[in-house]
Amino acid sequence: MSTDPIRSGARPLVPALMFVALVVAAVGSLGTPLITSVATTFHVSLDSAQWTLTIALLSGAVATPVLGRLGAGPHRRAAILATLAIVVGGGALTVLPLPFAWLLVGRAAQGVGLGLTALMMGVARDHLPEERGAATIALISVVSVIGAGVGYPLAALLAEFGGLRAAYGLGLLVTALAFVTAWRSVPAAPEGRSAHVNVAGALVLAGGLLLVLFLAGERSLWSRHLAVAAALAVAAVLLLCVWTVSELRTTTPLIDVRAVRHPAVAGANLAMFVGGIGMYLLLTLITRYAQTPHSAGYGFGLTTFVAGLVLIPFSALGFVAGRLTPRVRERIDGPLLLAGSAAIVGGGFVLFAAARSNLAELLVAMGVLGFGVGSFSAAVPGVILAVTPKNETSSAMSFNYVVRSVGYSLGSAIGGLVLAAGTATGRLFPNDDAYTTAALVGIAAMAITTTAALALARRRSPETRRSRPAPTP
């Protein structure tokens, strides 16, 4: 038996990392099934209630690069515990009988926890044997995606029978448990590390990301105030360009942009961006279609709770794919696995476009989506970390998370725009054909993703194909 306390404690460390990653993902997406309940409880519009989800995604995307840099330094454990404490505090604000503005503050605090996924990967890579660490990182990536499918039906059930505060109370409870779990299980970072947060760079990046995600979420701005939206889009591009230039010039970058330019890292992030658009688009289409009432001429009129159950095949098959991917990865090169996973998601779009007349067909499409997303999410870290030093694990994966968040936001926005374009004047719900059109857009996105992954596979060198992690400098 190993006498190394880290190695001998590897068994409880793995479920602890998985639990924390699952909790922050589920709590971050907790607003999805509760939007209607928030609107009725606080007497606000549905657009305003939508911000309980949007603000969590925004704060998560902004916090992730900063946490990723902190995770590369000696104070990673403190950063993890402090972040979870913020999430617990945010959970308390969502439960207390406070005005709507305080609910938004609480949800923003909860969203900060979304940045912990990359830090969990850094802990796994530092403190687990190589093969087990790679498998654990793959599963952490998967549970960070399927967490929504776990939290959605539970939150909807509690909201239906116990009210809005009961649903948010679930988030407070599990994040408190996650804090205790991290306190007991997460070890300190290896000695000899240092990390400096470039505050100016962080602020510029935060401004650019806020504008990008805001524009993706505010679809009405494009239709009602096109000039304002275009000006904000230009400002976002300029801010991101300024940030990129400053990162290349500084000796303490928030994200190592030079490493991001490596063909393997750039290719994986490009595939994640375009693939994320398609993946979230299909998830949105299926759940929205399932809840559309029969009076629209299609749909199944499912309640929020029952619609949440439709996500079970997504979560279950996503987890199965995540467990299988490390074994398949031993026989198939990472980019080829990305291409195959993207093709599977494309198959889910084809199923949805061709057959959605009964609920069983929707469940099959959701299961195919889950398997493809699970496999894709598990494969991405292997491609990136094969050329990334250990001490840059958290930073590299945090950048990938930001790319994924932007892709998911654009996927949701594109779906809303296509369905809005297919809604006749005076009607509440879009035509059935609009869903087919949106599915075709998704097929195109996954075709681009598959092509990008295949191009990356052709460029990879024999040394990289062995997928050995880069040595720590």
- What DSSP string describes 416-433? HHHHHHTSPTT-SS--HH
Split at pLDDT 50, 70, 90, the class of 47 is low
Domain limit, last residue, from 162, 186, 210: 186
Residues 266 and 246 in one domain: no
Q: Is residue 220 part of a domain?
A: yes
Please give the pLDDT value at position 354: 94
Residue 74 and residue 77: Cα distance in Å, rounded?
A: 8
| Segment of 53-67, 112-126, 403-417 carrying the highest mean pLDDT | 112-126
Please give the pLDDT value at position 50: 75
Residues 285 and 225 in one domain: no
Q: Is residue 3 part of a domain?
A: no
User: What tokens were used for 229?
Assistant: 């939206």
Please give the pLDDT value at position 78: 92
Q: Which amino acid is it at 317? A: L
Sorted by sequence, the CB contacts under 8 Å of residue 349 that are 6+ apart come out as 278, 282, 439, 440, 442, 443, 446
Q: Tokens 């830090």 identify what position? A: 119
Residues 261 and 212 in one domain: no
Residues 283 and 214 in one domain: no
Q: Is residue 281 part of a domain?
A: yes
Query: Is the pLDDT at 3 greater than 80, yes or no?
Result: no
Residues 342 and 272 in one domain: yes
Residues 109 and 119 in one domain: yes
Please give the pLDDT value at position 454: 92
Residue 457 and residue 9: Cα distance in Å, rounded?
A: 37
Please give the pLDDT value at position 463: 43
Sorted by sequence, the CB contacts under 8 Å of residue 108 that are 6+ apart come out as 55, 56, 58, 59, 90
The least confident of 89-93, 346-350, 394-398 is 394-398
Residues 224 and 149 in one domain: no
Please give the pLDDT value at position 200: 81
Residue 319 and residue 367 in contact, taking contact as beta carbons nearer than 8 Å: no
Please give the pLDDT value at position 201: 82
Query: Is the pLDDT at 66 greater than 50, yes or no?
Result: yes
Query: Is the pLDDT at 461 greater than 90, yes or no?
Result: no
Query: Is the pLDDT at 1 greater than 80, yes or no?
Result: no
Residues 36 and 100 in one domain: yes
Residues 395 and 430 in one domain: yes
Domain limit, last residue, from 134, 154, 186: 186
Please give the pLDDT value at position 396: 84
Q: Is residue 6 part of a domain?
A: no
Average pLDDT over residues 116-140: 89
Query: Is the pLDDT at 367 greater than 90, yes or no?
Result: yes
Residue 225 and residue 106 in contact, taking contact as beta carbons nearer than 8 Å: no
Percent of the chain with pLDDT over 70: 92
Average pLDDT over residues 364-388: 92
Q: Is residue 350 part of a domain?
A: yes
Residues 219 and 320 in one domain: no
CA distances from 325 to 117, 235, 319, 331, 378 (A): 19, 40, 10, 10, 6
Percent of the chain with pLDDT over 90: 36
Query: Which structural domain, as residue segments, surrounds residue 25?
Result: 13-186
Q: How many domains does the chain contain in total?
A: 3
Please give the pLDDT value at position 108: 92
Q: Is residue 192 part of a domain?
A: no
Cα distance between the two ends of the chain: 30
Average pLDDT over residues 304-330: 86
Q: Is residue 172 part of a domain?
A: yes
Please give the pLDDT value at position 444: 96
Average pLDDT over residues 339-358: 95
Residues 215 and 266 in one domain: no
Domain limit, last residue, from 134, 164, 186: 186
At 248-282, the pLDDT tens digits run 887 777 777 777 778 888 889 999 999 999 998 99
CA distances from 29 to 56, 259, 287 (A): 8, 30, 14
CATH number at residue 133: 1.20.1250.20
Residues 311 and 419 in one domain: yes
CA angle 183–143–188, rounded 5-degree value:
25
What length does the chain have? 473
Please give the pLDDT value at position 194: 65
Residue 83 and residue 163: Cα distance in Å, rounded?
A: 27
Q: Is residue 472 part of a domain?
A: no
